[in-house]
Amino acid sequence: MATHHEATHEALLYEKLDKERVHCFLCAHHCRIPDGKRGICQVRENRGGTLYSLVYGQLISEAVDPIEKKPLFHFYPGTTSFSIATVGCNFRCTFCQNADISQAPRDRGLITGRYTPPERVVDGARRHGCRSIAYTYTEPTIFFEYAYDVCQKAHEAGIANVFVSNGYMTAETLDYVTSENAAPLMDAANIDLKAFRDTFYREQCGARLQPVLDSLKRMKQRSVWVEVTTLVIPGLNDSDEELRDIARFVRNELGADTPWHVSRFHPTYRLMDRPPTPASSVRRAREIGLEEGLHYVYVGNLFGDEGEHTYCPRCGVAVIRRLGYTILEHDIRHGACIHCGAPIHGVGL
């Protein structure tokens, strides 16, 4: 395991201030960091007025996953994605399912990983026949310098890039990977829209709502394929009114063809006093999404539910049938329903 001193790499997206302070504008926290201190993510450190990433190339996790696990249901369905992560996160979600790695720098003072140069990640993806590389498990924004270098090499190799993110990056960060002057490096993203109340974001995540909404709109404007996920938590974000607000935002700002995944919560990390989400609540969330005019609404963590399937918005027939992450039937040809010819929106369908 490498120590963070071996893993330092000068950060992108910051400016030098007076008295050897720096302003990091990688994410919407806009940390102003004194000399010798770290940002909220705990993996970017100011040393003498220069900001360093402490996790460049320091992989804590790599795996071959079905793309459906991200979850992305309309981006090369049935393919695999080479998934990578470093430690660290710019959120402090009470319900984080990967807290052992995302919160390791904050909870245990640990920055660790196995150094893996960008080309080796791409080689791994190619060797395993993966259609994409997913920057996932923790928050990819905080290992952005590394992700950016991997993204470039992936595109050179004809491999797509997928971000699974909390959406808290700044416009400047998105400019780096979706520049209008060049082919965008970010091909698809699944963004957690964790709630539609700022209070929830402040109390449960240590963040704010608006920057996430702004990122979603920017990604859509820049032709990134976007899918949205909401973990439905009893008593915190599961009211019909709030779910309806989320569905309306997705429809009005991102489009009716944007997939929305509503997932079942299980008690974890620091949110142990809530029960698992009743299946009926997740199904109700899906119903609300469909009532509000979304064409593709999916349930997550409800194995075998009919809400795992993709239905044609015109004729209502299931055009992709799934069981968990496995595709059982695929009735789409050239992006259209084979039953009625209606377009089914997505990439590589």
Residues 191, 238: Cα–Cα separation, whole Å: 18
Identify the sign of the CA torsion 88, 90, 93, 96: negative
Indicate whether 284 and 159 sit together in one domain: yes
Residues 64, 80: Cα–Cα separation, whole Å: 6
Residue span of the structural domain in which 22 resides: 4-53
Omega before 71 within 30 of 0, i.e. cis: yes
Q: Is the pTM of this model over 0.75?
A: yes
DSSP codes of every residue in 164-214: EE-S-B-HHHHHHHH-TTS--S--EEEEE---S-HHHIIIIISS-SHHHHH
Q: What is the pLDDT of residue 136?
A: 97
Indicate whether 134 and 237 sit together in one domain: yes
Indicate whether 302 and 237 sit together in one domain: yes
Tokens describing residue 60? 């804590």
User: pLDDT (tens digit, 9 = 90+) per residue, 32-72?
Assistant: 999 999 999 999 999 999 999 999 999 999 999 999 999 99
Q: How many separate domains does the chain show?
A: 3
Q: pLDDT confidence of 181, banded at 50, 70, 90?
A: low
Q: pLDDT confidence of 180, banded at 50, 70, 90?
A: low
User: pLDDT (tens digit, 9 = 90+) per residue, 294-306?
Assistant: 999 999 999 999 9
Task: Provide the CATH number for the domain around residue 167.
Answer: 3.20.20.70
Indicate whether 121 and 245 sit together in one domain: yes
Percentage of the residues of the chain whose pLDDT score is greater than 90: 95
User: pLDDT (tens digit, 9 = 90+) per residue, 239-275?
Assistant: 999 999 999 999 999 999 999 999 999 999 999 999 9
Indicate whether 316 and 305 sit together in one domain: no
Domain boundary among 30, 53, 76: 53
